[in-house]
């Protein structure tokens, strides 16, 4: 239950063995490859250059092709998967099998080809629809559309706004030229579609008159034949395209069996991308390459044996303290503390060389969560949900693999606190018995150690005591860290002194000996809070500043734990309110419907609210006393996959 010790790995190998060695490291999944730090004073560094990374672009393109094909099949032939189905497993040699991969590449190419053809068909259909709409108003015109003007006669098709009366337009045309005629072909809500025929000598005047009315010439010069003939041809083309599209869609619907190989291809491409990215962090000459990285101390013996089969030179060293900010962090916890990785991952990983907070946080986090929920029914739901998801879905994602075990542990705590307060979906059972047997619900109350509604002050005191206990734990850990670092006096004069202050204050409250305890507190503060300050003025300022900051700080921190009581009461009251509303109907079925809906809402709100408030207590009131954050996660070169779980 600690931060895993890391060692810096430097390896020089033959360029011919580079790819095989990278595959070995990826198989073992225990080395995070980093960019080597150049030494500008060493002339040999000038001879080292990064390797070519053309394979990275190819792998990314292959993954894109596989994902694109999967998206197509998702629309037409989605893979069937249960709600809690775990990721299927695949052996490493099967995933890396190039024969299978080549078949999957061909399948991806085929699916994407069909999808591109389908997209082209839809684009052509949209084009035909646009052409059809353009020709439709001229369907009744029994004149070839390519008919043009002659030297004597001007023929022009165009539109006028629907707001312009045709009588007015015809009159304007006649007034502009006696040898001109405007004929309406069709009309719709927006436009009047017209044909203009006039003598060429009067063309200019007639068109000027029409343009004043909003005349717009129709662009139909590229068409031949009548509008009706062209519409018939467009309908036949659209029908052929529709038939082809239906055939392609039917073909795609029959390709559901390609989901599995395409997913394997996507995972294989992802593995190759990881390897190519790591390859880009190497430096090489014509014959050799240099690799630097971090390897867990516990993994080095096995890795050393595996590398012994290759002609390479390895150097493994312990990092210096100045290297700690660059060292990746890997936590090693047991079944009880590992789920708390979810909290530390959301907050920030501990800095390398500091303390793992999970063992120090786990008991408090789980205890506090159960106290805030405090209901046997809710606890059972949480435990059952956690067991079902873990057993059936076998979650292994970055969050879910911690969330479900943490939910189960918090469910146990919630059940125990619910047993202590006598809550089972609030007062569901007493209310039900009251409906069935008569009497008051209070007559059928479940056995309990205490009632949080009747003993609210006691619950508040208990919450504050738990807060003091956690703050004392944080202070003790801080003292331990300072003493371990050789700062014994600083530890005794800071947290150690305030330990004595709290003890004396508690003794005064319990024994009634206020005066001697106050004198002792003042003596402790005067002797310790000026530590490290120079001069009388500096020490006095240190004493008063420390007194103000610590009194207000400790008071506000301890008071924050009152939220444990507040959420316990809020959850209990909300559940009882809904149960009472259901009981008012006097009908068992109506009671169950109202009570279960209300309890479901209460549960949904509290399961998130309790997590947020619990995390706040840990991250602010607790971590602030000893936690050093800022660690970056350990990300080794590994067989990271999206769809399949690799069985090595």
pLDDT (0 to 100) of residue 85 = 85
Percentage of the chain lying above the pLDDT 90 cut: 70
629 and 350 in contact (C-beta within 8 Å)? yes
Query: Cα(581)–Cα(594) distance, rounded to whole angstroms?
Result: 7
pLDDT at 277 over 80: yes
pLDDT at 526 over 80: no
Query: Cα(491)–Cα(498) distance, rounded to whole angstroms?
Result: 10
pLDDT (0 to 100) of residue 532 = 61
Q: Give the three-class secondary structure for 532.
A: coil
pLDDT tens-digit map of 317-345: 999 989 999 999 999 999 999 999 999 98
Q: What is the sign, positive or negative, of the torsion defined by CA atoms of 86, 92, 96, 100?
A: negative
Query: Cα(322)–Cα(327) distance, rounded to whole angstroms?
Result: 10
pLDDT at 529 over 80: no
Task: Please state the rounded mean pLDDT for residues 522-550.
Answer: 67
Task: Please state the rounded mean pLDDT for residues 457-480.
Answer: 93
Q: In which band, very low, low, confident or very high, does the pLDDT at 548 lie, cut at 50, 70 and 90?
A: low
Q: In which band, very low, low, confident or very high, does the pLDDT at 533 lie, cut at 50, 70 and 90?
A: low
User: Under CATH, what is the fold of the domain 147-222?
Assistant: Alpha-Beta Plaits (3.30.70)
Query: Cα(565)–Cα(554) distance, rounded to whole angstroms?
Result: 19
Least confident stretch, 172-181, 276-285, 495-504: 495-504
Q: Which helix (H) or strand (E) holds 283?
A: strand 283-284
236 and 181 in contact (C-beta within 8 Å)? no
pLDDT (0 to 100) of residue 601 = 96
Q: In which band, very low, low, confident or very high, does the pLDDT at 167 lie, cut at 50, 70 and 90?
A: very high
Tally helices (H) and strands (E) across the chain: 21, 16
pLDDT (0 to 100) of residue 522 = 77
Task: Please state the rounded mean pLDDT for residues 367-375.
Answer: 96
pLDDT tens-digit map of 407-417: 999 999 999 99
pLDDT (0 to 100) of residue 598 = 95
319 and 8 in contact (C-beta within 8 Å)? yes
Q: In which band, very low, low, confident or very high, does the pLDDT at 380 lie, cut at 50, 70 and 90?
A: very high
pLDDT at 241 over 90: yes
pLDDT at 525 over 90: no
Query: Cα(355)–Cα(629) distance, rounded to whole angstroms?
Result: 10
Q: Give the three-class secondary structure for 646.
A: strand
Tokens linked to 507: 């003794």
Q: Return the ∠ at Cα 182 (arms to 179 and 185), rounded to 5°.
A: 150
pLDDT at 181 over 70: yes
Q: Give the three-class secondary structure for 628.
A: coil
The model carries a pTM of 0.85
pLDDT (0 to 100) of residue 364 = 97
Task: Please state the rounded mean pLDDT for residues 478-507.
Answer: 85
Query: Cα(133)–Cα(244) distance, rounded to whole angstroms?
Result: 22
Residue 595: name the closest of 582, 584, 586, 605 by CA.
582
pLDDT (0 to 100) of residue 328 = 95
The b-or-e profile of 524-551 (16+ CB within 10 A means b, else e) is bbeebbbbebeeeeebeebbeebbeebe
Which residue is associated with the tokens 């516990």? Answer: 298
pLDDT (0 to 100) of residue 84 = 81
Task: Please state the rounded mean pLDDT for residues 622-644.
Answer: 92
CA contacts within 13 A on the Cβ side of 410: 28
Quote the longest CA-to-CA distance of the chain: 125
151 and 197 in contact (C-beta within 8 Å)? no
Which numeric CATH code is attached to 2-75+262-331?
Answer: 3.30.70
Q: In which band, very low, low, confident or very high, does the pLDDT at 132 lie, cut at 50, 70 and 90?
A: very high
Query: Cα(118)–Cα(380) distance, rounded to whole angstroms?
Result: 52
pLDDT at 216 over 70: yes
pLDDT at 489 over 90: no
Residue 304: name the closest of 295, 6, 279 by CA.
295
Residue 342: name the closest of 287, 262, 295, 410 by CA.
410
pLDDT (0 to 100) of residue 54 = 78
Q: In which band, very low, low, confident or very high, does the pLDDT at 545 lie, cut at 50, 70 and 90?
A: low
138 and 227 in contact (C-beta within 8 Å)? yes
Domain parsing of the chain, residue ranges: 2-75+262-331, 147-222, 358-626
622 contacts: CB under 8 Å, gap ≥ 6: 361, 364, 470, 471, 473, 474
pLDDT (0 to 100) of residue 124 = 96
Percentage of the chain lying above the pLDDT 70 cut: 97
Q: What is the sign, positive or negative, of the torsion defined by CA atoms of 266, 269, 273, 275?
A: positive
Least confident stretch, 279-283, 371-375, 500-504, 582-586: 500-504
Query: Cα(290)–Cα(12) distance, rounded to whole angstroms?
Result: 5
Domains 2-75+262-331 and 147-222 belong to one CATH topology: yes
pLDDT tens-digit map of 432-462: 999 988 778 888 888 999 999 889 999 999 9
């Amino acid at each position: 239950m600690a931060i895993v010790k890391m060692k810096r790995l430097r390896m020089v190998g033959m360029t011919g063995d580079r790819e095989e060695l990278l595959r070995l490291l990826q198989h073992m999944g225990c080395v995070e490859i980093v960019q080597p730090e150049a030494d500008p004073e060493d002339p040999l560094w000038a001879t080292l250059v990064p390797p070519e990374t053309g394979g990275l672009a190819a792998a990314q393109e292959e993954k894109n092709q596989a994902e694109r094909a999967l998206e197509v099949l998702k629309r037409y032939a989605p893979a069937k998967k249960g709600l809690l189905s775990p990721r299927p497993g695949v052996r490493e040699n099967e995933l890396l099998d190039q024969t299978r991969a080549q078949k999957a590449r061909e399948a991806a190419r085929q699916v994407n080809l069909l999808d591109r053809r389908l997209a082209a068909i839809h684009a052509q259909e949209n084009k035909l629809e646009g052409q059809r709409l353009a020709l439709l108003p001229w369907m009744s015109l029994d004149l070839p559309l390519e008919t043009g003007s002659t030297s004597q006669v001007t023929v022009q098709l165009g539109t006028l706004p629907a707001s312009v009366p045709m009588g007015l337009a015809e009159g304007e045309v006649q007034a502009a030229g006696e040898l001109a005629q405007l004929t309406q072909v069709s009309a719709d809500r927006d436009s009047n579609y017209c044909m203009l025929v006039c003598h060429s000598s009067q063309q200019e005047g007639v068109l000027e008159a029409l343009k004043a009315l909003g005349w717009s010439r129709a662009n139909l010069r590229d068409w031949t034949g009548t509008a009706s003939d062209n519409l018939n041809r467009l309908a036949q083309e659209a029908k052929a395209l529709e038939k082809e599209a239906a055939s392609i869609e039917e073909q795609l619907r029959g390709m559901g069996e390609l989901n599995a190989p395409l997913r394997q291809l996507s995972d294989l491409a992802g593995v190759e991308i990881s390897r190519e990215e790591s390859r880009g962090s190497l430096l090489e000459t014509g014959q050799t390459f240099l690799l630097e990285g971090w390897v867990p101390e516990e993994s080095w013996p096995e890795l050393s044996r595996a590398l012994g089969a290759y002609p390479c030179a390895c150097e493994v060293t312990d990092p210096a303290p100045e290297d700690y900010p660059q060292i990746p962090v890997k936590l090693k916890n047991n079944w009880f503390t590992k789920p708390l990785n979810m909290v530390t991952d959301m907050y920030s990983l501990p800095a390398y060389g500091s303390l793992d907070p999970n063992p120090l946080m786990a008991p408090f986090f789980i205890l506090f969560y159960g106290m805030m929920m405090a209901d046997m029914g809710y606890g059972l739901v949480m435990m059952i949900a956690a067991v079902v998801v873990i057993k059936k879905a076998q979650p292994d994602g970055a969050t879910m693999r911690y969330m479900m075990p943490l939910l189960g542990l918090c469910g146990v705590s919630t059940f125990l606190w619910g047993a202590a307060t006598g809550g089972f979906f609030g007062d569901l059972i007493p209310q039900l018995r009251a409906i069935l047997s008569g009497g008051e619900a209070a007559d059928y109350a479940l056995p309990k150690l205490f009632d949080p509604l009747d003993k609210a002050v006691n619950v508040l005191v208990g919450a504050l005591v738990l807060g003091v206990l956690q703050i004392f734990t944080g202070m003790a850990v801080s003292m331990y860290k300072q003493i371990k670092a050789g700062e014994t006096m600083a530890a005794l004069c800071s947290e150690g002194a305030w330990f004595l202050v709290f003890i004396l204050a508690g003794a005064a409250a319990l024994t009634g000996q206020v005066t001697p305890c106050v004198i002792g507190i003042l003596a402790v503060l005067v002797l310790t809070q000026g530590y490290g300050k120079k001069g009388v003025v500096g020490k006095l300022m240190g004493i008063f500043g420390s007194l103000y900051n610590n009194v207000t700080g400790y008071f506000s921190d301890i008071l924050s734990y009152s939220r444990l009581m507040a959420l316990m009461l809020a959850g209990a009251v909300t559940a009882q309110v809904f149960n009472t509303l259901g009981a008012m109907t006097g009908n068992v079925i109506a009671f169950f419907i109202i009570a279960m809906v209300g309890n479901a809402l209460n549960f949904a709100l509290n399961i998130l609210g309790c997590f947020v408030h619990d995390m706040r207590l840990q991250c602010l009131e607790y971590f602030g006393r000893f936690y050093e954050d800022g660690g970056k996660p350990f990300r080794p070169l590994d067989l990271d996959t999206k769809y399949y779980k690799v069985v090595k």
